[in-house]
Amino acid sequence: MTEFDEAHLSLRRKVAEAVSCPSCEAEHIPEDVLVLGYQDGLWVVVVVCARCHWQGILFLRQSPPNMPPGSELDAEEWVRFQHLSAIDRAEAQRLKDAIWALDGPFEDDL
Ligand SMILES: [Zn+2]
């Protein structure tokens, strides 16, 4: 089995374990899940219920290892920014104040 096949099988198992049929509530098996493709950190899979034939398309975002869940960074951004601390409220306020203090024209600032 190639690395590509193993990644697909792993994804199919995870989706089957995580998703039950929204129509009849049947549990899924990996064979119910078809991987359509992967691009820019996004998996596209189809789930077909073997019991009631409900079909759904899922778009799944794959995060790099050790990336906090729910992060809005993509994999490349995560590599670039993971060592930096998040801005705090005071820093956000300073940025807001700086933006409000801008008084055009802005040609000299560019
Ligand atoms: Zn079903």
> Would the pTM of this model clear 0.75, i.e. be above it?
no
The phi-psi region of residue 80 (left if phi > 0; otherwise alpha if psi is between -120 and 50; otherwise beta) is alpha
Q: How far is the CA of 16 from the centre of ligand 1 (A)?
A: 13
Whether 69 shows a pLDDT value over 70: the answer reads no
Residues with CB under 5 A from ligand 1 (ion): 21, 23-24, 26, 49, 51-52, 54
Q: In what order do the strands lie in the sheet with 55-61?
A: 33-39, 42-48, 55-61
pLDDT in tens, 73-94: 777 787 788 788 878 899 999 9
77 vs 83: CA distance, rounded Å: 11
CB contact at 8 A, 79 and 64: yes
pLDDT in tens, 19-68: 999 999 999 999 999 999 888 778 899 999 999 999 999 999 876 666 66
